[in-house]
């Protein structure tokens, strides 16, 4: 059995670590790698899309990052208990016409004993922004440790 630490039940420190690992993974925009954080029978609701397993989640991520270009994400722990974590997040991206957006959302996560996410429920809203209003400025990939988080940015 392969474990994906940190494992539940979560402490505040391990919940924060799990959130940052998820953020770093999604900022990689590597659907193959990111999908490995989810159980084979993972269940997702993302906006109006539903995924019923890891392969469907991976296909969703591939479509997402094809559409959402220059994607940069920040996640923040909202609450946790046992094997569940709630996060809030924001990400910035542009479409293929150069229109910029900041997307705000909340996710509820449930983890199996091995640390794989078995349920992910996301609610997201998109706000059109001007490129000059962007707040997430770092090279594509993981957010640098010294870059402000959501609270520090007033989001």
pLDDT digits (tens, 9 = 90+) for 125-141: 999 999 999 999 999 99
Domains (range + CATH), the chain:
12-133 (3.10.450.50)
pLDDT at 9: 98
Supply the pTM of this predicted model: 0.96
The full length of the chain comes to: 155
pLDDT < 50: residue spans in the chain: none
pLDDT at 1: 57
Q: Where are the beta strands (DSSP E) in 61-149?
A: 69-81, 84-94, 100-111, 117-129
Confirm if 87 and 75 have CB atoms less than 8 A apart: yes
């Amino acid at each position: 059995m392969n474990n994906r630490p940190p494992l539940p039940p979560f402490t505040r420190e391990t919940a924060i670590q799990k959130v940052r690992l998820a953020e770093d993974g999604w900022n990689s925009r590597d659907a193959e790698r990111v999908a490995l954080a989810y159980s084979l029978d993972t269940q997702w609701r993302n906006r109006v899309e539903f995924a019923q397993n890891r392969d469907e989640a991976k296909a969703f991520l591939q479509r997402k990052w094809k559409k959402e270009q220059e994607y940069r994400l920040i996640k923040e722990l909202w609450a946790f208990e046992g094997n569940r974590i709630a996060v809030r997040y924001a990400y910035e991206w542009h479409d293929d016409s150069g229109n910029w957006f900041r997307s705000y959302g909340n996710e509820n996560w449930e983890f199996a004993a091995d640390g794989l996410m078995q349920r992910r429920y996301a609610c997201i809203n998109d706000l059109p922004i001007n490129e000059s209003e962007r707040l997430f400025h770092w090279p594509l990939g993981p957010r640098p440790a010294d870059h402000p988080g959501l609270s520090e940015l007033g989001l």
